[in-house]
Chain A
């Protein structure tokens, strides 16, 4: 919502500082997005009188004008067809800067020097008209700044009005708040040259007639109140300067006096109005009724609209002439020939308007306001002011009072406020009379009743429906900044920590400790497999599904790194993956951990001549194992063709690690990846075991493994054959030579007794038992030196 500082100043009867106003409004009721001085770029433009117009001797379409700019007479070459001697136009002298940054220079046009320019609306960015220069109907003397002559000098505040405050969509509502802050009441500005306001509309609960037109409401739910006034003898023409200035100040384009008057009321009082050409109302009837499915109409914007049940139409004897509260029809529009108008001032049900504009995908200034709730109580006053305004700017008479069809008059709402509840919620006590005074300052009518305040809610505040709404009013009017920030005692939370959070933190510590950076990828992806959860209303095809796995996102991140010639990639991610579980049900969410590795396994160092070994599958296996250990499912890591799988006790695959296929540049290293379910609850606590005080005994076993025997098999035999005196068995070497049938794998066995120093003899006995069993079970023998 744009508001004009000039307009607010007129309502508050004092000049307003824009910055101060913005600050007060922000702290009281509405965020201010910007404070923008208007039309500063027109400061070089002045009002000038064209004294004479001659045909250019060498160009049919051009004229040579003598222009009086208030101090001297200048020769200007003009191309506009409408330039007329004796009239006033905007003029910019040589050296002026026009909107858009063009600096004018003296220019020779077909042999004659033009000293400056007469300007069109479009050249001044005041409108779109560029068929001719802008004729000024002003009393201002030549030389007057255009911004002064047209009263354009102003400052605009852009307000970010929240959905609960429709009253702030009109200047009256904003002035009311600002007035409360400044301690002055807001009043409507007098309308220049206005006739005295006519009688109030005549209320009836059934159909009523005005100007020979019968007005009836059939759809009372969609339109509880409908007023119509008839004004005869208007002359449709451009609006006076003051009215055009008001509209321009909020960014609206002046159209004609009748339309401008309705827009003025919209921006002033937040009441959308609609003017029909009386002559175009067929069969002398206006009926407000529910739409029938399949009905259609062409709206003002030239679109053919089809209606459905639940929409409210304004119809004449032959059919729809407007979509109630949204947009009028093209046929009944006010035109230059219009002399008699029927002016509509109505209240439409916010929910119905919301449904209608959503179904039609058509949001207008009117629908926006009706959807948020207009002031149905203020309508009689609004109607009288609107009629007076139209008569002031377009002439005409109102031969009889307007009709007010109001089948079920509503009473204003009363909400009770307990002062002790104010203190309870706000934490400081606010005296009853202070609360009363604060509420009164913005239009609530307050009456003390026993221990409470009976607060009558004005029609422009549909958001205030219960006590807590009044408490908010008291808080904001008192000033949020007036409350202390004092920490008071509290009781500890009854809610325990979710155990997944510390588990995620532990996984992050382990993986960052292993040198991987934490990644965060977008969980929306372009395609999915059978179980993928799709999005009904995606923003793009690339983000139309929820991810089923983390690795594709990490592979994309690897590719991104390669695209910037980054070869060394070490990333992990913790995040949720989704699987569809049927329409109308939340998809299954599984927390996962995944990682990718590619490139140098350690940073290069000069001592190794800048070389370092790239990550390989053994790094992958180790990191995967650590990830499983810290947060994976209980189970075992088994080999498969591509790498390793984590199998849980039930045999389900709960993780995997393997080399990944990726579209990678030739210089990139292989890419390895792993992914696993994060499982809460199996993490074992750490436990101290006495640190050994006896020495270890080591034995190295270089074994020849025949084809088909794996290290894992050998190790399990070693562990089973050795006694509990075996502390660790670690592979420390592996090689294959041409003179060997198999390969040689060497283990270092460490033996220790906790209570004594082991004798070599004892260890030798164990080793020979191990060797015997290895030979018997696997055909594995000690390598002959």
Chain B
């Protein structure tokens, strides 16, 4: 007498193949345990129960039982392979995974601003020169018409290295150095570090960058001066930016001017950056004082010119919204990372 229960159970188990074909990963694991689990798997248990049957019967039932077991196993393996392939395919096709980066370096924001400014003036024919950071009193003061016995000498508090030798308080000494070496037409910009006895605070540092500009030739006028500065401001801050010139005083320029650019944040309406004036002070400038030309052996009756000086630290702070000048000296990687091109 065959054992109808065992065969029936196995045939019933075989119907699970349909479910296996569509099972997800969790259900597949579950089905494998339910059917083929070593202790409680349905197929396993039936196969184990065959041990008690007479040999002939065991052979006929056993053959069918193994057939069914193999079919179930194959279905399980096939489904598993299909599921794994789908995962692999998803991995390959996941274009949202991050790409492989490499380190990139940035020039310092001050360098970027200096280069941009010098490049704009290059459009107007200015060449770029540099000079020493330690200067003589003659170049830092007297050749520039700054008398040490006049209060104008106090406009910058200067570091002394030894008698007669200072750390330059401005890049203006290069006006005299250049005019002594080269005949007009002179059109130069001079970037470089300058030093002043200012205590550290959010807007002051004892060392900072300056850019000097100088033009000397026959027939250079206040109109040429205004035009060049206006050109620069529009290139740097935007074509519709207004420039304002106010009277000022520097011993080495006459007439002298303080130059304001319309605030690039509020467009002149007034905001906290421009202290509600609508304008930002960006440079001191003016027509080269004839005394400076005379001091450098240039005929001040024949030649005229203009000069200007601006502070890239201040301009960088305005442009990038940097609230504290000290950030520009700390070299914090997290800060410098922000200036990657």
Contact = CB atoms under 8 A, between A and B. Distances in A.
A427 B231 contact: no
Contact of A586 (B132, B152, B220, B258): B132
Given A162-B248, A534-B161, A518 B334 contact: no
B149 interface: yes
Contact of B331 (A27, A427, A475, A560): A560
B154 A163 contact: yes
A508 interface: yes
Interface residues of B, number: 95
19 contacts: A29-B247, A425-B221, A468-B290, A472-B255, A481-B244, A484-B223, A487-B124, A490-B185, A491-B185, A495-B129, A495-B181, A497-B129, A508-B111, A518-B108, A536-B160, A539-B198, A586-B132, A605-B98, A607-B100
B327 to A, nearest CB: 11
Contacts of B127: 493, 495-497
B89 interface: no
B101 interface: yes
Interface stretch (B31-39, B60-68, B186-194): B186-194
Nearest to B97: A606
A178 to B, nearest CB: 14
Contacts of A586: 132, 134-136, 161, 165
A498 B332 contact: no
Interface range for A: 35 or more
B185 A518 contact: no
A608 B162 CA distance: 58
Nearest to A570: B103
Contact of B328 (A425, A427, A520, A554): A520
**Counting chain A CB atoms within 10 Å of each CB, which of B149, B151, B159 scores highest?**
B151
A350 B97 CA distance: 75
Nearest 10 CB-CB pairings of A with B? A427-B221, A515-B103, A427-B223, A512-B105, A162-B249, A557-B331, A472-B255, A493-B187, A480-B245, A485-B230
B319 interface: no
Interface in A581-636: 582-587, 589, 601-603, 605-607
Contacts of B211: none
Interface string A445-483: 000000000000000000000101101100110001101
A31 interface: yes
Contact of B197 (A492, A512, A537, A578): A537
A485 B243 contact: yes
Nearest to B260: A26
A471 B197 contact: no
Given A162-B249, A520-B328, A605-B100, 18 more contacts: A163-B152, A164-B152, A350-B150, A354-B151, A495-B178, A495-B187, A498-B128, A500-B130, A517-B105, A519-B108, A519-B336, A523-B133, A533-B161, A536-B159, A539-B197, A564-B334, A568-B333, A578-B134
A606 B98 contact: yes
A87 interface: no
Interface in A25-64: 26-31
Contacts of B262: none
B223 A428 contact: yes
A300 B334 CA distance: 56
Given A512-B105, A566-B332, A539 B134 contact: no
Given A355-B149, A472-B254, A605-B100, A518 B329 contact: no
Contacts of B219: 424
Interface in B128-144: 128-130, 132-136
B129 A520 contact: no
Interface string B90-118: 00000001101111111110110001000
A522 B207 contact: yes
A372 interface: yes
A485 B333 contact: no
A496 B127 CA distance: 6
A584 B160 CA distance: 10
B228 interface: yes
Nearest to B190: A498
Contacts of B73: none
B88 interface: no
Interface string A525-562: 00000000111111100010010000000100100110
Given A29-B247, A566-B333, A535 B159 contact: yes
Contacts of B245: 480-481, 483
A304 interface: no
Nearest to A607: B100
A694 B50 CA distance: 77
A522 B133 CA distance: 13
B224 interface: yes
A490 B124 contact: yes
B226 interface: yes
Contact of A517 (B134, B195, B337): B337
B337 A472 contact: no
Nearest to B290: A468
A303 B103 CA distance: 64
Nearest to A164: B249
A511 B304 contact: no
B151 A163 contact: yes
B254 A468 contact: yes
Given A425-B221, A606-B97, A515 B102 contact: yes
Interface of A: 26-31, 162-165, 350-351, 354-355, 371-372, 424-428, 466, 468-469, 471-472, 475-476, 480-481, 483-488, 490-498, 500-501, 505, 508, 511-524, 533-539, 543, 546, 554, 557, 560-561, 564, 566, 568-572, 575-576, 578, 582-587, 589, 601-603, 605-607
Interface in B236-268: 243-249, 254-258
Nearest to A563: B332
B223 A483 contact: yes
Contacts of B320: none
Given A424-B219, A518-B107, A471 B255 contact: yes
Given A468-B290, A490-B124, A586-B135, A485 B151 contact: no
Contacts of A564: 332, 334
B170 to A, nearest CB: 16
B171 to A, nearest CB: 13
Contacts of B332: 560-561, 564, 566
Given A468-B254, A493-B185, A520 B108 contact: yes
A351 B147 CA distance: 10
A583 B162 contact: yes
B314 interface: no
Contact of B101 (A534, A571, A605): A605
Nearest to B228: A487
B161 A514 contact: no
A538 B167 CA distance: 11
Given A164-B249, A495-B178, A539-B199, A468 B289 contact: yes
Nearest to A165: B249
B247 A518 contact: no
B71 interface: no
Given A468-B290, A521-B329, A570-B103, A495 B186 contact: yes
A80 B326 CA distance: 51
B128 A518 contact: no
A457 to B, nearest CB: 15
A425 B304 contact: yes
Given A498-B128, A535-B167, A571 B249 contact: no
Given A424-B304, A493-B126, A537-B160, A513 B134 contact: no
Contact of B217 (A491, A568, A587): A491
B280 interface: no
Nearest to A605: B100
B270 interface: no
B314 to A, nearest CB: 15
Nearest to A468: B254
Given A524-B206, A584-B164, A586-B135, A569 B107 contact: no
B330 interface: yes
Contact of A587 (B124, B134, B331): B134
